[in-house]
Copies of this chain bind each other. A is one copy, B any other.
Amino acid sequence: MIIVPIQTAQGDYQVMIERGIAARLGEIVRAEFGSPRIMIFTDSTVDELYGRTVQAGLRAANLDVSRFVFPAGEAYKTFRTVESALEILAEERFDRGDLILALGGGVSGDLAGFTASIYRRGIRFIQVPTTLLAAVDSSVGGKTAVDLPQGKNLAGTFWQPSAVYCDPDTFRTLPPQRIADGYAEIIKHGFIADEDYLIHLEKLPCWEDSLETTIERSIRIKAAFVAADTLDRNERRKLNFGHTFGHAIETVTGFAVSHGAAVAIGMVMASRLADRLGIAEVSLTERLEALLRKYGLPTEFAGGGGGSETFARAAANDKKSGAGKITFVLPVRAGEVRLTPFDIADLQKIFALAAE
């Protein structure tokens, strides 16, 4: 078992990475949390794949387990779903000492974490990510959210999980595209913080090789940013590399492009922009593109949705905008990025430069 300690301004916890751990959570949860009641919070797809296994493992340790299953899909990342979950917790008299278990990808984690953070003003939750993307990204760091009609993730909280249990065996049921989504964030981690890690990724013969080590290294990188700036005011924002452009692509295409693909293209755009501005090391963009291609990710926006004006408008609506400025994360060299604010009035020019 690999154990990664996470330190945050809201409390510390551990990530445990081990094949098959999802089926063996009963004794582990008992040892860590005593005998709370547990609400498994998952979507219909993941429930069919892993719901029974996780539940059986918990019940084998005599834990009292309930389930909240919502229909799979980002369309259900809403207040309605959270409200249903809260009402079920209240009906079943869940208490401040009880536990929510988020089983699934980013949507389940965001919803379960948000629900846990507001039920009776906050109860504990644990993450059991079943996608590579959630394992290396959203399951660690405590961002929770729901979408509003005006945009994604506009309501939420910072609420840290009390533990993360990562079972790489659960990724076997993911289609290649969703593995690639995970690698977009993994590659991002290398570019923003650690050239050695990039070299590791460049050398890996196949994505499945030494997967636990890859997950561990990615989580360690993310954890350092979260420890430095849990509430995402400064340093943590470097994790947004590729995301400002990426979100604009997602918005403009109505989320027809997956998150990983959008971030991949967004990183290339940020890298090109850094090139044009003379900030980036020579050949950084080529290196980024080669690595993205290796892991099945796109490097160019295939088009649709309009020109740089449309993109600029989408980015201006992005929630990281503030006081007439929008902050981009620009690469300087492999393993180093810089936060660079631009005037919103200049966004169209920036998108034009980055797309060239």
Contacts and interface: CB of A to CB of B under 8 A. Distances in A.
B121 A143 contact: yes
Interface in A129-184: 143-145, 148-151, 154-158
A118, A149, A156: most-surrounded residue (chain B CB, <10 A) = A118
Which range contains the number of A residues in contact with the other chain? 35 or more
Given A79-B83, A83-B79, A87-B148, A319 B154 contact: no
A12 interface: no
A321 interface: yes
A91, A148, A317: most-surrounded residue (chain B CB, <10 A) = A148
Given A120-B319, A145-B121, A154 B97 contact: no
A91 B317 CA distance: 10
Contact of A155 (B86, B145, B155, B156): B86
Number of copies: 2
A341 interface: no
B97 A150 contact: no
Contacts of A119: 154-155
Nearest to A95: B322
B157 A122 contact: yes
A117 interface: yes
Given A83-B79, A323-B95, A323-B97, A154 B317 contact: no
Given A79-B79, A95-B321, A157-B157, A151 B117 contact: no
A282 interface: no
A203 interface: no
B150 A87 contact: yes
A41 to B, nearest CB: 15
Contacts of A91: 150
Contact of A117 (B95, B149, B157, B322): B157
Nearest to A145: B121
A154 B120 contact: yes
30 contacts: A86-B148, A86-B155, A87-B148, A87-B149, A90-B148, A90-B149, A90-B150, A90-B154, A91-B150, A93-B317, A93-B321, A95-B321, A95-B322, A97-B323, A114-B118, A117-B157, A118-B155, A118-B157, A119-B154, A119-B155, A120-B154, A120-B156, A120-B319, A121-B144, A121-B156, A121-B158, A122-B157, A122-B158, A122-B231, A157-B157
Interface of A: 79, 83, 86-87, 90-91, 93, 95-97, 114, 117-122, 143-145, 148-151, 154-158, 231-232, 317, 319, 321-323
